[in-house]
Amino acid sequence: MAPPRKLHIKSYGCQMNVYDAQRMVDVLAPEGFVETATVDDADLVILNTCHIREKASEKVYSELGRLRLARDEAASSGRRMQIAVAGCVAQAEGEEIVRRAPVVDVVVGPQSYHHLPQLLARAEETGRALETEFPVEDKFGFLPQPRPETIRARGISAFVTVQEGCDKFCTFCVVPYTRGAEVSRPVSAIIDDVKRLADNGVREITLIGQNVNAYHGEGPDGRAWTLGRLLSRLAAVPGIVRLRYSTSHPNDVDDELIEAHRDLDALMPFVHLPVQSGSDPILAAMNRKHTAADYRRVIDRFRAARPQIAFSSDFIVGFPGETEADFVATLALVTQIGYAGAYSFKYSPRPGTPAADMQEMVPAAVMDERLERLQQLIDSQQSAFNKAAIGQTVDVLFERAGRKPGQIVGRTAYLQPAHVFPGPMFLGPGMAPDSLVGQILPVRVDSLERYSLLGELAAKPPQHARPLAATGA
């Protein structure tokens, strides 16, 4: 048998790229590829790229510059290193990538990952292979399932893509062009994936999609199912104790999703609901198709269904034409909602998007100043949210052993990291702290260390607890 070839993948951008990287590993595993953590010993390096802002996109070229040196180094010791560019820059720039960086062997768009083995082989023969069309077949039908040992090695929390692409065409955004039109996977395929993950130790599933709550996949009854209905079905899969979903659009929040938050204990009360701006004229120019008041009403519906729900969001400052008054409306919205956290970005004009042709660019210094003010407000809300946990007993799903001996690390419902030293009185004889991985246990929070909660177990774990790997659970 040929020795395994080594594969190094570097991912940028969103959760979907993290998920896609795993699927690329799964597609290449039967070809004899195993993952390596470094570029230096890799036979194949894949850059899984993001096109969302100029900075993200340009990173690829500096990385390719470094890879050229690594490849020369490998060649000098008689080893051939292949270099592939995947992800949204591959989709958006295609041949332009090889023009700027001839070191690249393969360019592959996000809808063609199932063709990677053939593309690598073609590049081997002819020197280069590109595929950035949207193929007629659905890649999900062709991507192999991960091996049980691979699922276990990836941990107790997993992403599952249920929807891909976007039909919203916000005027600033490249996603509808890089990921294509909105497509939902069928319910049965998602249930199969989730069962397989649960059978191999996964306890928490995050359903992902660029517009995940626009989900409308075909159900076993032949009808289109909503995200809320899908979540209810997945909550019944044995072993799954936590469900999340990301990223949602305010306009696609329907009653079934709200009811899922009311009815499902497994559905975490933490929702990422980007609003981008608090100013109606800017929201209109962004083609968001909702006002700030519409957004507040959506938040109110969630809160009425589940009072302990918390939110995060994304914001863009300095969209073309944004005035001080527009920006103050954003600050006002943030103050009204009160977030557990949020991401904020300076507007970056993207080639081919309608906003890139808009005049009235906001000067860089003004953007910097607005970003600073917004981030200060969000940071203060986030610290207040985290501080409120002190003295409370919160449920933590334990994920892995901590860096310090005897420590174990997990997350709360709100994704706050929690660090605990269970100590001998909580662990039965011969039980290591990581035997708690995969369990939800109450933790009394004593203090904060930056964004992490520190505390103690508030109840003994069940004494049958054993490491997941040993139970085959």
Q: How many helices (H) and strands (E) does the chain have?
A: 15, 19
Name which of 331, 428, 417, 413 is nearest 380 in CA terms: 331
Nearest approach in angstroms of CB 89 to ligand F3S is 8
Cα 460 to Cα 425: distance, rounded to the nearest angstrom: 8
Q: Which of 33, 295, 345, 414 binds ligand SAH (CB under 6 A)?
A: 345
Does position 273 bind ligand SF4 by CB under 6 A?
no
Q: Determine the interface stretch with ligand SF4 among 134-142, 163-171, 255-263, 436-444 (rule: CB under 6 A).
A: 163-171
By beta-carbon proximity to ligand SAH, the closer residue of 113 and 319 is 319
Rounded to 5°, the CA angle 144-112-224 comes to 75
Does position 312 bind ligand SF4 by CB under 6 A?
no
Site for ligand SAH in 53-72 (CB under 6 A): 53
Give the other-Cβ count within 10 Å of 40's Cβ. 12
Provide CB contacts within 8 A for 97, sequence distance 6+: 60, 85, 89, 90, 104, 107
Q: Determine the interface stretch with ligand SF4 among 55-63, 131-139, 171-179, 427-435 (rule: CB under 6 A).
A: 171-179
The DSSP secondary structure of 264-292, one letter per residue, reads -TTB-SEEE---B-S-HHHHHHTT----H
Does position 381 bind ligand SAH by CB under 6 A?
no
Q: Which does 348 bind (CB under 5 to 8 A by kind): ligand SAH, ligand F3S, ligand SF4, none?
A: ligand SAH
Residues 330/374, Cβ–Cβ less than 8 Å: yes
Does position 249 bind ligand SF4 by CB under 6 A?
yes
Residues tagged in the binding site annotation for [4Fe-4S] cluster: 14, 50, 88, 166, 170, 173
Residue 7's SS3 state is: strand
**Chain residue at closest Cβ approach to ligand F3S:** 13
Q: Would you state the structure tokens that stand for residue 473, as one six-digit string? A: 């659970």
Q: Would you state the structure tokens that stand for residue 38, as one six-digit string? A: 């470094």
Nearest approach in angstroms of CB 174 to ligand F3S is 6
Q: Determine the interface stretch with ligand SF4 among 164-172, 232-240, 358-366, 458-466 (rule: CB under 6 A).
A: 164-172
Q: Which of 115, 139, 350, 370 binds ligand SAH (CB under 6 A)?
A: 350
Q: Which does 350 bind (CB under 5 to 8 A by kind): ligand F3S, ligand SF4, ligand SAH, none?
A: ligand SAH
Q: Which does 370 bind (CB under 5 to 8 A by kind): ligand SAH, ligand F3S, ligand SF4, none?
A: none
Does position 161 bind ligand F3S by CB under 6 A?
no
Please list the residues that pair with 396 across neighbouring strands: 441
Name which of 429, 432, 396 is nearest 411 in CA terms: 396
Cα 18 to Cα 273: distance, rounded to the nearest angstrom: 20
Does position 371 bind ligand SAH by CB under 6 A?
no
Site for ligand SAH in 273-332 (CB under 6 A): 274, 276, 314, 316
Residue 346's SS3 state is: strand
